[in-house]
Amino acid sequence: MPALRTVEAIRYITPLREGGSVPAVIEAGDGETYVMKFTAAGQGRKALIAELVAGEIGRALGLPVPEIVFVELHPDLSRCEPHPEIQAVLRASAGLNLALRFVPHATAFDLLLAPPPDARLASEIVWFDAYVTNVDRTPRNVNMLMATDGLWLIDHGAALYFHHNWNGYLAHSRSPFPLIKDHVLLPLASELREADVSLRTRLSPALLRNIVDLIPAVWLAGDPAFAEVDAHREAYAAYLLTRLEAASVFLEEALRAREPRV
């Protein structure tokens, strides 16, 4: 798979104050607009790693995830933000950050207002979110946008939450994902078994390792659970590969969650 592009943030436009990480809309040197996530915000580098890895897995599966790019941030850009706490985050995030291409004219997805995705797409999104343990696709926080060109999946920084505690991570990779019961698209996901057959074949070991290799070494350095960056990177790959092998576990959990309750 091709390497991610790296762009330079040249204009800070506005913060997006939804959620705790306070991303911002920025203009980059390529003339495009992006939603930028900062290394010093919220869960820090781990949130950016989850955004990168989960987002690129989604894109590899053919799901509608906006283009992801690395962004170089100069600390002087923080002077464009008047709020002192956000300004401090910007200064502390100088260097390499992450962004998703901005989706213009988009609104939050609402099942009551927007045409729902068909059963196959809904099933693929549910399968994907169960695989990457994404807790943020609920009616309360859908993290999906509707635009003139269709549905977009955004904000995967809360996925892969196992990496906040590496103890027993391979055992966690074989675990079900009970929170799938709260997924906003679960009622529409009537083709989960078909999605499972299709999506498993798209995630080869080589592809998953290539995605993990995209993680910048500077984001992996310094974790007390690992003496070396290479070992840290290999742990991500091992988790994703083992979880894929155990996909039947989270698939069955999702199927059970769809069963009528009496």
pLDDT at 1: 63
- Give which of 96, 101, 29, 92 is closest to 59, Cα–Cα: 101
pTM of this structure: 0.95
Asked if residue 34 lies in contact with residue 98, where contact means CB atoms within 8 angstroms, the answer is no
Whose tokens are 């790693």? That residue is 49
Burial 114-139 (b: 16+ CB within 10 A, else e): eeebebbbbbbbbbbbbbbbbbbbee
Segment 188-216, tens digit of pLDDT? 999 999 999 999 999 999 999 999 999 99
pLDDT at 262: 39
CB neighbour list of residue 84: distance below 8 Å, 6 or more residues apart: none
DSSP-H helix ranges across 4-101? 45-60, 84-92
Where along the chain do its domains lie? 6-101, 111-143+167-257
Segment 110-140, tens digit of pLDDT? 988 878 899 999 999 999 999 999 999 999 9
pLDDT at 2: 64
- Tell me the pLDDT of the chain averaged across its residues: 93
Backbone angles phi, psi at 149, to 5 degrees: -100, 10
pLDDT at 261: 56
Rounded CA gap, 172 and 135, in Å? 15
pLDDT at 80: 74
First to last CA, the chain: 47
Asked if residue 15 lies in contact with residue 23, where contact means CB atoms within 8 angstroms, the answer is yes
pLDDT beneath 70: ranges in the chain = 1-2, 17-21, 261-262
- Give which of 91, 74, 96 is closest to 5, Cα–Cα: 96
Please, what sign has the CA dihedral across residues 103, 108, 113, 116? positive
Percent of the chain with pLDDT over 90: 80
Rounded CA gap, 72 and 86, in Å? 17
